[in-house]
């Protein structure tokens, strides 16, 4: 129950983050600046806190794994997210992320050889169809359009996150959550530094308001540290697939926030795409034993 409550809270945090992060770009920060601020802030926070709770030694082979995990879980995951969100809408991004459970199933099948049943295969087809509709749909649809590129980056961001969930699961049985996070955040920040080569603009600190700083603190404290800690804790008790299922709550939260602030709502095409993804998630969660792969 605690694991499920942790994942539910994480979905709420992630759902609100779409709007919080979108509100900071491009007025206060560009995507690269925001990625670096988030990565560095979370790194400092987790290293300070872990000093009071744990001092576990990590085996050399596991440390090498953490280096790889950090690339997918921090560098690619967060980098692609902010680059994509800067070009698309929070609602589109949140709906695309509901394909994460399906991506987790596919990746788990290849990496840890988890069997895919007929129900799960049907869910994969429906879910990916819904995700592709969101990625390709645009009232001014054209290759190279901002929305198309942004949605594509969000889909790649979800793929990187799914790989992270599947790969990091085995280490949860060996180490405490803070131990895993401190190394993942450290290496993730190091591999994020090359992003500076693409957008080395300086931050105009004088333009940043108190409200903007509060939004940055939300991203660092809740969306990075708290959410990742809750996910790592939950993975000690549930599978990566179950953790991925909670992504379906994110568009609900994002849409609800959109209603409150009156910014945007999904149109009929996006609703159909979301229904396809939700149906796919439901089928993926079925356990009928008809293995096809």
Is the residue at 282 inside a domain?
no
Is the residue at 97 inside a domain?
yes
- Taking the chain (293 residues) in runs of 10, the rounded mean pLDDT of each run is 84 86 86 88 88 81 92 91 87 78 78 70 75 60 62 90 85 83 91 74 81 92 87 77 69 71 66 76 58 42
Is the residue at 111 inside a domain?
no
Is the residue at 276 inside a domain?
no
* Cα–Cα distance list, 100 to 14, 89, 170 (Å): 13, 18, 19
Is the residue at 182 inside a domain?
yes
Is the residue at 274 inside a domain?
no
Domains of the chain: total: 1
Of 139, 122, 130, the closest CA to residue 284 belongs to 122
What one-character-per-residue DSSP string does 219-274 give? IIIIIIIIHHHHHHHHTTTS-HHHHHHGGGHHHHHHHHHHHHHTS----HHHHHHH
Q: What is the pLDDT of residue 191?
A: 92
Residue-number span of the structural domain to which 257 is assigned: 2-105+143-262
Contact 284, 101 (CB under 8 A): yes
Q: What is the pLDDT of residue 210?
A: 92
Of 99, 141, 138, the closest CA to residue 251 belongs to 99
Q: What is the DSSP letter of 112?
A: S
Is the residue at 201 inside a domain?
yes
Contact 18, 200 (CB under 8 A): no
Tell me if residue 113 falls in helix, strand or coil.
coil
Contact 112, 132 (CB under 8 A): no
Q: What is the pLDDT of residue 35?
A: 87
Is the residue at 34 inside a domain?
yes
């Amino acid at each position: 129950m605690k694991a499920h409550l942790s994942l539910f809270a994480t979905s709420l945090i992630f759902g609100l983050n779409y709007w919080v992060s979108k509100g900071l770009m491009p007025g206060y920060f560009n995507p690269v600046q925001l990625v670096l601020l988030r990565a560095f802030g979370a790194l400092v926070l987790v290293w300070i806190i872990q000093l009071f709770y744990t001092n576990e030694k990590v085996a050399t082979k596991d440390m090498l794994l953490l280096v790889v995990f950090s690339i997918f879980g921090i560098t690619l995951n967060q980098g692609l997210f902010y680059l994509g969100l800067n070009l698309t809408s929070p609602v589109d991004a949140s709906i695309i992320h509901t394909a994460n459970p399906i991506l987790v199933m596919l990746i788990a099948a290849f990496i840890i050889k988890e069997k895919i049943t007929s129900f799960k295969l049907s869910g994969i087809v429906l879910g990916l169809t819904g995700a592709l509709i969101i990625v390709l749909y645009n009232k001014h649809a054209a290759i190279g359009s901002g929305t198309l590129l942004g949605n594509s980056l969000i889909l790649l961001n979800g793929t990187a996150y799914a790989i992270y969930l599947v790969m990091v699961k085995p280490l949860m049985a060996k180490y405490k959550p803070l131990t895993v996070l401190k190394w993942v955040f450290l290496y993730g920040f190091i591999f994020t530094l090359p992003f500076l080569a693409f957008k080395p603009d300086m931050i105009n600190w004088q333009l940043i308001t108190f409200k903007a700083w509060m939004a940055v603190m939300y991203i660092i404290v809740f969306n990075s540290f708290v959410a990742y800690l809750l996910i790592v804790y939950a993975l000690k008790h549930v599978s990566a697939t179950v953790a991925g299922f909670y992504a379906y709550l994110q568009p609900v939260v994002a849409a609800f926030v959109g209603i409150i602030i009156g910014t945007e709502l999904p149109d009929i095409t996006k609703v159909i795409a979301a229904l396809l993804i939700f149906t796919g998630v439901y089928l993926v969660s079925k356990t009928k034993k008809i293995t096809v792969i």
